Amino acid sequence: MLFLAHLDVSLPESLAPELFEDFQLREQKYARDLQGAGIITGLWQEVGQASSYCLIEVSDTDQLQEVLSGFPLYRYFDVQITPLTQHPNAV
């Protein structure tokens, strides 16, 4: 199953800089691992925003939830999911 995930990050102002750095490093590693495993097949950042778009290929919605909740910053995400299917006119 293919999903487009819009991940909008809203961090609390009280988050300590060293904690933010730790989150950032773990977030990068997790995203790279998912890309290496072929689960995230596309990753884009929205210009000027703290949000991204991911194409996520998983077997079912349970795996999708597992993938999303595995992001270190997940508790700070506002997530919008769009299930995708092949367009009939796709070549």
pLDDT value of position 72: 94
If you ran DSSP here, which 8-state letter would residue 39 be given? Answer: S
Q: Which of 45, 46, 37 is nearest to 67 (CA)?
A: 37
pLDDT tens track for 33-90: 999 999 999 999 989 998 999 999 999 999 999 999 999 999 999 999 999 999 999 8
Sequence spans of domains, the chain: 2-84
CATH tag, 2-84: 3.30.70.1060
Q: Which two tokens stand for residue 54?
A: 């991911």
Assign 6 a pLDDT band (cuts: 50, 70, 90): very high
pTM value is 0.89
77 neighbors 54 (Cβ within 8 angstroms) = no
